[in-house]
A and B are shown apart, each in its own frame.
Chain A
Amino acid sequence: NAGVMQNPRHLVRRRGQEARLRCSPMKGHSHVYWYRQLPEEGLKFMVYLQKENIIDESGMPKERFSAEFPKEGPSILRIQQVVRGDSAAYFCASSPSGGRDTQYFGPGTRLTVL
């Protein structure tokens, strides 16, 4: 059973470009969470999605950031017009339900903005 997949593992963008981060949850999991980890800091919740629905986006910056989890395909975290402050590791986690199930984490995407 493959784990949570994230790609790319490393992404370099220049200021003003767009970044697209992909997350494929574990088989049978329909709940996806995105977190951001800044250097020397813990994980900060960004958004929680179920298939085709955003359940909680309280941790998402109001501008430039968006997320989706379509009926088919991976979940996408999209950052438009990236700035240097967006440089971080972005982790995706999945769970089989939105209850108190364990969240299983992917290896992360490390975004560097030049």
Chain B
Amino acid sequence: AQSVTQLDSQVPVFEEAPVELRCNYSSSVSVYLFWYVQYPNQGLQLLLKYLSGSTLVKGINGFEAEFNKSQTSFHLRKPSVHISDTAEYFCAVSVSMKTSYDKVIFGPGTSLSVIP
């Protein structure tokens, strides 16, 4: 069965410091990978996605992620965080189902807290 693991439930980091949020997935088939951000009391917003091609994906708000097939990872990075990046971050995997649609499986989330 497919699953998504986010190893860190909470990540505190000082403003302007770099951050990496880790994501690992398990799947025996090819996958598409996503990172979503959820600000307090809001829905999820797509940060970036990997479909194919270059393994380094750039997203909005200065975030980027690197797909590593051998390590089945898709870690999210930002070189310098801002207070406004404080939010919940979800890694997700899209997996083809036998019924020819794609099911998205979300990780448990990582709470990023940026400290002034």
Is A55 an interface position by the 8 A CB rule? Answer: yes
User: Is A30 part of the contact surface with B, judged by Cβ < 8 Å?
Assistant: no
Does the CB pair A107–B43 fall under 8 Å? yes
Known: A42-B106, A55-B101. A100 touches B51 (CB 8 A): yes
Total contacting residues, chain A, CB less than 8 A: 25
Main secondary structure of the interface of B (DSSP, over half): strand
B52 closest partner in A (C-beta): A100
Complex: chain B residue closest to A101, CB-CB: B102
Known A43-B106, A100-B32; judge A107-B42 contact (CB<8 A): yes
Known: A45-B103, A100-B102. 20 other contacts (CB 8 A): A4-B43, A6-B43, A41-B108, A41-B109, A43-B90, A43-B106, A45-B104, A45-B106, A48-B101, A55-B101, A56-B101, A91-B44, A98-B100, A99-B101, A100-B32, A100-B94, A100-B96, A102-B49, A105-B44, A106-B43
